[in-house]
Structure 1
Amino acid sequence: MNSISHDEQLLKSLTLAVANRPRATMKELAQLAGVSKATLHRYCGTRENLVLRLEDHAEGTLNLIIRSAGLLEREPLDALRRLIRGHLDHRELLAFLMAQYRPDFLDLEQGGKRWLFYLEALDSFFLKGQHTGLFRIDITAAILTELFISLIYGLVDAEHRRRAANTDSARILEQMFLNGALLGEEYRGRAPMLEETR
């Protein structure tokens, strides 16, 4: 295994460890990540440095997800599917970001500028999708971004808490984002029957 893949694996393990146990000590995080406390100390020194390193990793990964999805180059539906899969391929990262969330997380004056590229890329994508007729135009692109983020991070959180299985998450996310919770036409006549079977 080369040093780059070892570093990536360590980052992934630490990301998951912090997501699972945000208040754990450095010793506990080292154990959860499968390394010694000395190795973790050499890697980042302090808890604050660890969080900064993981946030740098998160920023780079979100950038990669955006680029890989081809948001402005591909057809919007294809790009949306790639965007969803890209996020789900990095569930531990989304769980980490949720564990780090605080009310001023996206405040531009409190360090939130580092995440601005992500919001702007999603806003531009949803605006493009509105112009092509895929996404509704009675909701702003910024709100579509917020709804998308809420859905994808929320579902990953539900998986993390074992309230949802991850086997069908990509399809569920796509369907909920594109169609909402409205009962499909094929089921509408059967809705009372569904209620009766409870």
Structure 2
Amino acid sequence: MKRVIVGITGATGTIYGVRLMELMRTDPGIEIHLVMSKSAKLTLKMEHDLELSYINGLAHEVHDPGNIGATISSGSFHSEGMIVAPCSVKTMSNIASGNTGDLISRAADVILKERRTLIVAVRETPLHLGHLENLTKLARIGAVIFPPVPAFYNRPNSLMEIVDQSCMRMLDQLHIHL
């Protein structure tokens, strides 16, 4: 069984986290652990008509964002890695600086220290020098910086095709091929 941690933060683009879980649910060999920040729940209401119960139902286990003692915050919790999608600049900066005051940043920190794959789908633009320095710091310590930039060479016919292309590429980083 492959385990994947999904963190959803308050940045716009919550569809990325939701769609990642929908795609992974097609493989019964993947166990999904979800952490959503309080801000993510607010953003979700603005961006979608989806119920929180639906999103929670996509995960095998849902973790409270304030529970920094959750199983996923331990190096002994084996996983393929973690995807933070979307990743707010706040969360990205917390991870880069080792500020582990919430479960998303704590779990991400553990993923990095255990040399597992951490993917941060940063959804801010434009970026200033401080953002770029934090992203560089994350890349240096092993994170995959993955801004979900739309691809058009595949001539997408819908927004979901654009989202799916980014999500499938994120999953490729974890060696998950659906």
Whether TM exceeds 0.5 here: the answer is no
Q: With structure 1 as the length reference, what TM-score do the two structures score?
A: 0.29
Q: Which has the higher contact order (CA 8 A, sep 6+)?
A: 2
Q: With structure 2 as the length reference, what TM-score do the two structures score?
A: 0.31
Tell me which protein shows more helix as a share of its residues. 1
